[in-house]
Structure 1
Amino acid sequence: MAERAAEPILEVRDLVKHYPLTRGVLFQKRTGAVRAVDGVSFELAAGETLGIVGESGCGKSTVARTLVHLERPTAGRIRYRGEDITRLSGRALKAVRRNIQMVFQDPYTSLNPRMTVGDIVGEPYEIHPEAAPKGDRRRRVRELLEVVGLDPDYAGRYPHQFSGGQRQRIGIARGLALRPEIIVADEPVSALDVSVQAQVVNLMERLQAEFGLAYLFIAHDLSVVRHISDRVAVMYLGRLAETGTDTEIYEHPTHPYTRALLSAVPRPDPAAGARRARIPLAGEVPSPAHPPSGCRFRTRCWKARERCAREVPELAVPEAYRASGGPAAHPSACHFAAEPDEPDELYGTGEAGRGA
Structure 2
Amino acid sequence: MRADGEAILEVRELVKHYPLHRGILFRKQVGAVHAVDDLSFDLRRGETLGIVGESGCGKSTVARLLVHLERPTAGRILYKGEDVTRLSGRALKAVRRNIQMVFQDPYTSLNPRMTVGDIVGEPFEIHPEAAPKGSRRARVRELLEVVGLDPEHINRYPHQFSGGQRQRIGIARGLALRPEVIVADEPVSALDVSVQAQVVNLLARLQEEFELSYVFIAHDLSVVRHISDRVAVMYLGRFAEVGTDAEIYEHPTHPYTQALLSAVPVPDPLARARRDRILLSGDIPSPADPPSGCRFRTRCWKAREKCAEVVPGLEVPEWFRGGGAVAHASACHFAAERRVVPGEE
TM-score (norm 1): 0.95
> 1:248, 1:327 within 8 Å by CA — same for their partners in 2?
yes
What residue in structure 1 maps to residue 325 of structure 2?
A: 327
> 1:35, 1:289 within 8 Å by CA — same for their partners in 2?
yes
Using the TM superposition, give the Cα deviation of residue 6 of structure 1 relative to its aligned residue in structure 2, in angstroms.
Answer: 2.0
Q: How does 1:66-105 map to 2 (within 5 A)?
A: 66-105=65-104
TM-score (norm 2): 0.98
Using the TM superposition, give the Cα deviation of residue 270 of structure 1 relative to its aligned residue in structure 2, in angstroms.
Answer: 1.1
Rounded to whole Å, the distance in 1 between the matches of 2:173 and 2:135 is 16
- List, as ranges, runs of 4+ consecutive aligned residues in structure 1 with deviation greater than 6 Å: none
Rounded to whole Å, the distance in 1 between the matches of 2:58 and 2:275 is 30
What residue in structure 2 maps to residue 352 of structure 1?
A: none
Letter in 2 for 1:75: A
Using the TM superposition, give the Cα deviation of residue 241 of structure 1 relative to its aligned residue in structure 2, in angstroms.
Answer: 0.3
What residue in structure 2 maps to residue 170 of structure 1?
A: 169
Question: Deviations along 1:304-342, whole A, 9 cap, x unmatched?
Answer: 0110011000000011111x21111100000000101xx
What residue in structure 2 maps to residue 254 of structure 1?
A: 253
> 1:279, 1:347 within 8 Å by CA — same for their partners in 2?
no
Root-mean-square deviation over aligned CA pairs: 0.8
Letter in 1 for 2:271: A
What residue in structure 1 maps to residue 272 of structure 2?
A: 273
Q: SS of 1:86's equivalent? A: helix
Letter in 2 for 1:184: V
Q: How many residues align?
A: 342
> 2:5, 2:45 within 8 Å by CA — same for their partners in 1?
no
Rounded to whole Å, the distance in 2 between the matches of 1:72 and 1:160 is 33
Using the TM superposition, give the Cα deviation of residue 274 of structure 1 relative to its aligned residue in structure 2, in angstroms.
Answer: 1.3
Q: How does 1:196-275 map to 2 (within 5 A)?
A: 196-275=195-274
Q: Structure 2: where are the runs of 5+ without partners?
A: none
> 1:46, 1:213 within 8 Å by CA — same for their partners in 2?
yes
Q: SS of 2:87's equivalent? A: coil
Rounded to whole Å, the distance in 2 between the matches of 1:179 and 1:7 is 19
Q: SS of 2:154's equivalent? A: helix
What residue in structure 1 maps to residue 299 of structure 2?
A: 300
Rounded to whole Å, the distance in 1 between the matches of 2:29 and 2:98 is 37
Rounded to whole Å, the distance in 2 between the matches of 1:247 and 1:85 is 32
What residue in structure 2 maps to residue 290 of structure 1?
A: 289
Letter in 2 for 1:329: A
Q: Structure 1: where are the runs of 5+ without partners?
A: 349-356
Rounded to whole Å, the distance in 2 between the matches of 1:198 and 1:304 is 38
Letter in 2 for 1:332: S
User: Identical aligned pairs, as a percentage?
Assistant: 81
Question: Deviations along 1:34-79, whole A, 9 cap, x unmatched?
Answer: 0000011110011110000000000000000001011000000000
Q: After alignment, is 269-278 or 291-300 more displaced?
A: 269-278
